[in-house]
Amino acid sequence: MPRSKSLVPLSHDHHHALKLAQMLKKDAPRLESVPESPQEKARRALEFYESDLVVHFAAEEKVLYPFVKGKDTILDGLFKEIMEEHKKIRHLVESLLQDETGLEEKLDTLGRFLEGHIRKEERELFPRIQEVFSEDELNELNGKIKAVR
């Protein structure tokens, strides 16, 4: 199913976050644009979190979730999981600031968790939203998402 235009901005965010997730994993391919040191990877992760993920999470938590809440039990269940995952991602990012002990493991854990989280939203949440809501409702959602970005 093609992605509704109302969800495209969030899907674009996911694309960029997936690139970060791949870079953070221990088995990331060695590419010129990918930093090798765990410290540099952590710095990039923190920058991305502050510049992109904070805004993305706000759009999902303050716009998307209230919009779909109570309209479908499957969506409510998915969002309960997603909100918990957002908390875990925040915790994993904060752990990068505490100390460098086990930094490579922390980065790998964050990368794998972030990837799984994004896949859930793209493969389960967004298709379900498109099934449950009409095109007019999705257009209304689009306006609300644009207003917070």
| 106 burial via Cβ count (<10 Å: 0-12, 13-18, 19+) | buried
Of 124, 126, 119, nearest to 5 (Cα)? 126
Measured distance CA(125)–CA(32) in Å, rounded:
34
* DSSP conformational letter for 35: -
Which pLDDT tens digit goes with each residue over 12-27? Answer: 999 999 999 999 998 8
Query: Structural domains in the chain?
Result: 8-148 (1.20.120.520)
Which pLDDT tens digit goes with each residue over 85-128? Answer: 999 999 999 999 888 889 999 999 999 999 999 999 999 999 99
Confidence band (pLDDT; 50, 70, 90) for 40? very high
The pLDDT score that the predictor gives to residue 32 is 65
| 69 burial via Cβ count (<10 Å: 0-12, 13-18, 19+) | exposed
Q: What is the mean pLDDT of residues 40-63?
A: 96
Average pLDDT, whole number, for the chain?
94
Confidence band (pLDDT; 50, 70, 90) for 31? low
The pLDDT score that the predictor gives to residue 136 is 96
Measured distance CA(113)–CA(22) in Å, rounded:
11
Please determine, for residue 56, whether its predicted confidence score (pLDDT) is greater than 90: yes
